[in-house]
Chains A and B, each alone.
Chain A
Amino acid sequence: GENVEQHPSTLSVQEGDSAVIKCTYSDSASNYFPWYKQELGKRPQLIIDIRSNVGEKKDQRIAVTLNKTAKHFSLHITETQPEDSAVYFCAASLNTGNQFYFGTGTSLTVIP
């Protein structure tokens, strides 16, 4: 199956700074890449996603970039706030109807 790697595993930033999380995937057939935010003991929440026919997508302070040739995609959070503190997971899937393979997660801490 798909293998998704995610870096860094932990990330601390000052409030207002930017945070970048990177993921790589192994299956070139994957074409859907969501990012999830998960708070302790709760279900993952979709924050942004991107499909393989798009190189970049932005939603307010959050953006995702995709390089299909290199098989990597990144999450960018600007103007970070303490409430952004959580664990973030990237995932890859063949399409929106298929199972996700999740990255290993990044614990983000935004220091006030």
Chain B
Amino acid sequence: GAVVSQHPSRVICKSGTSVKIECRSLDFQATTMFWYRQFPKQSLMLMATSNEGSKATYEQGVEKDKFLINHASLTLSTLTVTSAHPEDSSFYICSAPHWSSDGYTFGSGTRLTVV
């Protein structure tokens, strides 16, 4: 089935630094990628939608200058958390609208901890 590979799975960074999270579609072309954030014991909140070759669409309240999204190819979408702060610590997960027997294809998630 369709697979989205997400890296890194865990990252710890210092306040003020930037962190890049990658999601790659391994056996299909993902023209669209959805990025979600999940705080502990909370739901998955849609942050933005990236589209290959065009600007990402951000949900209300999500700072586009802080969460930079790039979708430069049909198989790669990246989320960069810039000038990270402890409140950015969260579980970030991507999802591509490719239907498989497991439904929507999610990445494995990235646990970001900002210290």
A, B in one complex: yes
Q: Does B25 contact A (CB under 8 A)?
A: no
A92 to B97, CA, bound (A): 14
Please tell me the size bucket of the interface on B: 20 to 34
| Residue picked from B95, B97, B111, most chain A C-beta under 10 Å | B97
Tell me whether A99 and B102 are in contact in the complex, defined as CB-CB below 8 angstroms, given that A41-B91, A42-B108 are known contacts.
Answer: no
Interface of A is mostly: loop
A103 to B95, CA, bound (A): 16
Interface of B is mostly: strand
B104 touches A46 (CB 8 A): yes
B42 touches A105 (CB 8 A): yes
Tell me whether A104 and B111 are in contact in the complex, defined as CB-CB below 8 angstroms, given that A41-B91, A97-B97, A99-B49 are known contacts.
Answer: no
User: CB-CB < 8 A to B60: which residues of A?
Assistant: 1
A12 to B108, CA, bound (A): 27
User: CB-CB < 8 A to B103: which residues of A?
Assistant: 34, 36, 45-46, 49
**Nearest B residue (CB) for A98:** B97
- Distance (Å) between the CB of A89 and the closest chain B CB? 6
Chain A residues 37-76 with CB under 8 Å of chain B are 41-46, 49
Q: 20 additional contacts, CB 8 Å, given A1-B60, A44-B106, A100-B44? A: A1-B46, A41-B109, A43-B109, A44-B93, A45-B102, A46-B102, A89-B43, A96-B97, A96-B99, A98-B97, A99-B34, A99-B97, A100-B34, A100-B46, A102-B43, A102-B44, A102-B46, A104-B43, A105-B42, A105-B43
Q: Could you show 7 A-B contacts with beta carbons less than 8 Å apart?
A: A34-B103, A34-B104, A36-B103, A42-B108, A96-B104, A99-B46, A99-B97
Binding site for B on A (CB under 8 A): 1, 6, 34, 36, 41-46, 49, 89, 96-105, 107
